[in-house]
Amino acid sequence: MAKKIQETDQSIAKKLGMGLLYLVLTIVAIFQIYPLVWLLMFSLKSNSEVFGLSPFALPEDPKWENYARVWTDGNINLYFFNSVWITLASVLLTVLLASFVTFAITRMHWKFNKLVLGLFMVGLMIPIHSALIPLFDFFLKLGLVDHPLSIILSYTAFNLPLTIMILLGFYYTLPREIEEAAVVDGCSVHRIFFQITLPMTSPVIATTAIINMIYNWNEFVFVNTFISSDKYKTLTVGIQNFIGQYLTDWGAIGATLMISIIPILIAFLILSNRIVEGIAAGSVKG
């Protein structure tokens, strides 16, 4: 009888604990989602509604035309396309180069591998703003100022150290027996990397890809410094088109921000399971 009472008490305590956990998670979710809902409502307002109503009030007459206007008249379609292809190119280049480096450091024996790893890790300590003037001078001499290649190279260089650091933890957990068996069968180093190692690291590659994607998509300083032509500007810089000396179109700014958020949300939802797998797998060695 006492045992049944104890089991009942444990069951009630467990249910109360789970209920409290779900309550806390629900509150956190509301705080996370509400800014997106607020931004959507903000993007549907006119300037008079933005300043005349409460910031939390619903739009009286939703201005869906704000989205059509910024997409065509504000060149957001061009900036959106630039953001997409520059971000994807930078992510692909960063992840591929970081995978090369991590494979060479963890799977190949050579004299200066630790020194090279240390040099890459030093890159984590270099502030972006301290490198702007040297980079601008470097790209100016190469004729890459106002060229998208300057942005892609900058994103790749500054994201490589963090990407390598994330990949290292996962590579150390990979069993060497598979690669050793491939060597015995006559497989070359290139085939081992592209056909065996790279597919096995897909979970952590998804993790690094989404991290790089978020950084590249939201980056402002490099684009604002190196790019002056409208044809190469990205969304983060293009928002300035709606900020005038005497008048700012707040509804258009909200619509542009909403457009810029949607791709990242979609990418995160698609890759969320892979991201969790990559973080979990890379956090435990052996």
pLDDT tens per residue, range 175-222: 888 887 888 878 888 888 888 888 888 888 888 988 899 899 989 999
Q: Do residues 88 and 38 both lie within one domain?
A: no
Any domain includes 60: no
Pair (123, 191) in one structural domain = yes
Report the distance separating Cα 90 and Cα 87, nearest Å. Answer: 5
Whether the per-residue pLDDT at 5 is higher than 80: the answer is: no
28, 88: one domain = no
Total domain count for the chain?
2
pLDDT of amino acid 278: 57
Is residue 66 a part of any domain in this protein? no
Q: What is the pLDDT of residue 153?
A: 95
Residues 39-83: tens digit of each pLDDT: 888 888 887 787 776 667 788 888 888 888 888 877 888 899 999
Residue 57 covered by a domain: no
State whether 277 and 184 are in the same domain. Answer: yes
Pairwise pLDDT comparison (272 vs 125), residue with the higher score? 125
Range of the domain at 248: 75-283
Q: Per-residue confidence at 286, pLDDT binned at 50, 70, 90?
A: very low
> Is residue 248 in a domain?
yes
Q: Report yes or no on 115 lying in a domain.
A: yes
The pLDDT score that the predictor gives to residue 2 is 57
| pLDDT of 87 | 94
Residue 16 lies in a domain: yes
Same domain for 116 and 22: no
CATH of the domain at 189: 1.10.3720.10
One domain for residues 194 and 251: yes
39 shares its domain with 79: no
Write down the pLDDT at residue 38: 87
Residue 196 maps to a domain: yes
Same domain, 129 and 181: yes
- 84 and 21 belong to one structural domain: no
pTM of the model as a whole: 0.81
Q: Are 216 and 152 in contact (CB under 8 A)?
A: no
How high does pLDDT run on average in the chain? 84
The reply to whether 17 and 126 lie within a common domain is: no
- One domain for residues 181 and 245: yes
156 and 27 in a single domain? The answer is no
Assigned domain for 48 exists: no
What confidence tens digit (pLDDT) does each residue in 120-163 have?
Answer: 888 888 888 888 999 999 999 999 999 999 999 999 999 999 99
State phi, psi for 166 to the nearest 5 degrees: -70, -40
pLDDT, residue 1, reads 58
